[in-house]
Structure formats: structure tokens, C-alpha cells
Amino acid sequence: MNLVRAFSLPFIALVFVPIACAASPDRPNIVVFLTDDQGYGDIGCFGSESLETPNIDRLCQQGMKFTDFYVHQRCSPTRLAFMTGSHAHRAGCTKVIYNKDRIGIHADEVTTPELLKTAGYTTGIVGKWHLGEWDAFNPTRHGFDFFYGFMDDLDQGSGIYRNLERVESIKRKTDGQHSPELLDAAIGFIRENKERPFFLYYASPLPHTPWSPNTRFKGTSKRGAYGDVTREIDWQVGELMKTLDEQGLASNTLIVFASDNGPVLGINGGDAGPFRDGKWTDFEGGIRVPCIMRWPGTIKPGSTNSQITGIIDLLPTFCAIAEVDPPGDRVIDGRNILPYLKSEKVEQPIHESFIVPGSVIRHGQWKLLVRDLKPGGKSGREGKRPSAAAGSLFNLQTDPGETQDVSADHPEIVADLRRRMNEAVRELEANSRPIGRLPSR
């Protein structure tokens, strides 16, 4: 179903009532490994020639590679979309939530872990939350049984938390010093919960700046500190895979690997592969990220899915896997992509469009900009990158790098995409929800 049609669905007034179910040991475990600012071109199986990622490549060989997987262009909106199954615009926040902001995920949102808990799952998050720094927004208040990590970027927030308790207040510790502890917490969570279905969200702080690889990874890549950090990510993925193997859980566990937004570009920085620009933009380099899913016995090894999918789809897909209904009292933008995972024949694309309201629409092979797009980032260390004007139309099939504006050749396609965008914006305005806010002081 395309997003525009999804936006137009009649509002079904069902009130979501969580019902606690007994644990169902046969339901598959779900592990989501979400990296932070990793580029499409920073992974071997996505075409990197300068970085080696053997463990992530092994996930590709054993699972399904998603070539057209979309997120938002920055951290908090993507994480909000993951937790709510809805575009960040719908869930009320398109900005990065900084530690002093008095906003965060709304208490009325029905989150991915809350839904999985109704099917008997134990839920844990390790790493970076980024959906509100304050106690009311703590992950354990939004569906997670276990939290070890931090609320904001590691160098900006108020410290390391274990559940609701701040266990370290020291700021500006480097990623390199804390990543092993995050991995240990994740491995401990898997071991403790091996007898029941669990959902583990490993929200890695890597390869976000500052690029501070753990000592054992310094100098191990050809791409400086950024490359070393990528090697560290790959090692962590491998350690989690090893833990699942050791516990006899690999065949009953869906692993999802993805990045939260495009890379920070620059000398020795990230690489968006064939796409234009990177983080902070709605060019493909900012919003199309690498994604892999492995589920032995269900997902065909070495397969590729090139349909439009995105992080919004994880909530409804996980609901289908856990056999619980997604909330019916609100618009959920994501769709269940389990048929793709099972390689079932799907008559129509599950999404015909991906829309960033007021900015860009991709419909099939076409992408229209409805506002000017500036280059991402501020450093410009790699040289000035160009902007693109509102009204530009790109054919992503023949021009994934968004280099040739072909709007003059296809006025009817421009008009159709503009109409779809307008319809989506109108529907969104009618059915959006607020971000959570603390009372003013």
C-alpha cells in the first residue's frame, strides 16, 4: 500500500488495550542493531572497497539485503519512527532532541517494545536512546524492561543509566571506553533471557563523532579513526552473532541491522556510496541507509529486496511476527513487510512512495524535491557541495546520485508527485500527534 493511500485510510476508532500474555517460547527473538550515522558505502556487502566488515557481510550472506530502506536524516526522528511505526512528522518531532530540551516521546505513544511485551516478550535497550533526557522519557517508562546506556549523545548527556538510575555522571567519556560495556550488557541480556522470547535494541553510539575507537581497533583500517570505529562495529555484530550461536538461539532470532541516518561526510569521514550528500539532508545519502535482516529458516540466504521499505515498517512487522495487533486508534505509517522476509509473492509494492512531508517524495523510480535542498553538515572539509532547487526531479533508477534534473522532460510526473505530496501533507496535518512535553517551569 502506498503511503499516500495509507495517509487516506479511514480513521478506525479502536482503542488499544495492552493485554498481558503468557510468554510464548516459540516466538522468535528479535535483535535490532542500529548504528549511528553509518553510510551506505561503509559496509563491504553494500559496495565499500576501503572498509572490511566480514561479520556484517556474513549477515548479508545468511540473510536479506534491503537496498531501498529509508529513515529520517538525523538521530531522534529516526528513533521516534522506529518506536512508533510512524513518520517522525506524525509523531510530533523532526528535530534532534538535545539534553536540555524539555521534550521527548509522548506517554500516549504505543511503542514497539510495549506491543511486544503484550506477546510475552522481555524487552531491553542498550546504548543511545535520544528520545528525551528527562525521567519521564526514560526507556523503562516506554516499554523497555531493561536499559543500559545514555539518553543523548554520549558526549552531551548527563551520564550512563541502568534503568532509571544514573550509574555514572561523568561526561565526555569516549565511545571507545564505553562500547565494550554496552556489548557486555547486551550479551548479558541475551543470556539471561534465552528461555523466553526477547527483544533487544542495540542502539550503538558508533560511528557517530567523536571517532574514538577502542584501543584494540586503533590503526586496524585503511580509513583512519572512522574506519577503525567501523571495524569495531563489525566486531560487536560478530560478538552478538557468536552469543546467539553459543546459546542455541540463532535459528530462532531475527536480526535487523541498519543505520539511523546517512554518514557525516568529510576527509576520512563516512561514505554514502552511490548516493548524493549525507546526514542532515533529504538527498538519498541522508535518508537511504544500509539494512540487512537475517532469520535462518525464514529469510532466504543471500537474498536482496529492492522495494521501498523503512524503519517505520519494523513496528508492524514485529507485531506480525509476535502475533499482536498494532494500535488501531491512530495512523501507523509503517506496513508489515513479513511477506518480503518470507519471499512471498506480493502483488503490489507494500509502499509505492516514501515521503518526507514538505521536502521530498519518492514514488517508484522518481524523486521530486518540493523545497530547496542544501548540502548537509557544516565543515565543508571535502569542498563545497551544491544545493538543489525545489522542483528538481530525479530518476533514481538511472541516476541514483541525483545529478540530473529531468523535470523539464516529465512535467506530468512532476504534477503527479506534487499532487501526492499535497495530499500527504493535508492528511498528516489532520492526523498527527504531539511530542511529549514536560510542564513549563
For binding to Ca ion (CB under 5 A), which residues are involved? 36-37, 75, 260-261
Q: Which is nearer to Ca ion, 74 or 294 (CB)?
A: 74
Given the C-alpha cell 522518481, which residue does it identify? 366
CB of 78 to Ca ion, least distance (A): 7
Q: Measure CA of the first residue to CA of the last residue in the chain; give whole Å.
A: 44
Catalytic choice (72, 89, 106, 130): 130
Here the cell at position 126 is: 542498550
CB of 75 to Ca ion, least distance (A): 4
Here the cell at position 235 is: 566486531
Q: 159, 158, 176, 177: which is closest to 168 by C-alpha?
A: 159
Main-chain phi, psi angles of 184, to 5 degrees: -60, -40
CB of 205 to Ca ion, least distance (A): 9
Rounded Cα gap, residues 441 and 439, in angstroms: 6
- The yes-or-no answer on residue 130 being catalytic is yes
- Residue 273 CA: distances (Å) to CA of 68, 73, 302: 13, 16, 20
* Other CB atoms within 10 A of residue 386 CB: 10
- The yes-or-no answer on residue 75 being catalytic is yes
Q: Which is nearer to Ca ion, 36 or 52 (CB)?
A: 36
* Other CB atoms within 10 A of residue 339 CB: 14
Q: Which is nearer to Ca ion, 87 or 117 (CB)?
A: 87
Residue 390: partners with Cβ closer than 8 Å, 6 or more residues away = 369, 370, 371, 372
Residue nearest to Ca ion (CB): 75
Beta strand 122-128 with 146-150: parallel, antiparallel or unpaired?
parallel
DSSP tag of 385:
P
CB of 181 to Ca ion, least distance (A): 20
Query: Cis before residue 274, ω within 30 degrees of 0?
Result: no
Burial 96-128 (b: 16+ CB within 10 A, else e): ebebebbbbbbeebbbbbbbbbbbbbbbbbbbb
Q: How far is C-alpha 220 from the chain's CA centre?
A: 27
CB of 84 to Ca ion, least distance (A): 17
- Decide if 332 contacts 85 (C-beta within 8 A): yes
CB of 79 to Ca ion, least distance (A): 9
Cα radius of gyration rounded to whole Å, the chain:
20
Q: Three-state DSSP class for 182?
A: helix
Q: Three-state DSSP class for 291?
A: strand
Rounded Cα gap, residues 429 and 157, in angstroms: 32
Q: Which is nearer to Ca ion, 39 or 327 (CB)?
A: 39
Q: Which is nearer to Ca ion, 206 or 331 (CB)?
A: 206
Q: Which is nearer to Ca ion, 8 or 209 (CB)?
A: 209
Q: Which is nearer to Ca ion, 28 or 139 (CB)?
A: 139
CB of 2 to Ca ion, least distance (A): 27
Q: Which is nearer to Ca ion, 52 or 260 (CB)?
A: 260
Q: Which is nearer to Ca ion, 63 or 139 (CB)?
A: 139
CB of 203 to Ca ion, least distance (A): 10
CB of 143 to Ca ion, least distance (A): 21
CA angle 237, 243, 246 (to 5 degrees): 140
Catalytic choice (45, 75, 291, 319): 75
DSSP tag of 5:
H
CA angle 283, 287, 290 (to 5 degrees): 125
- Decide if 199 contacts 27 (C-beta within 8 A): no
Q: Which residues are catalytic?
A: 75, 130
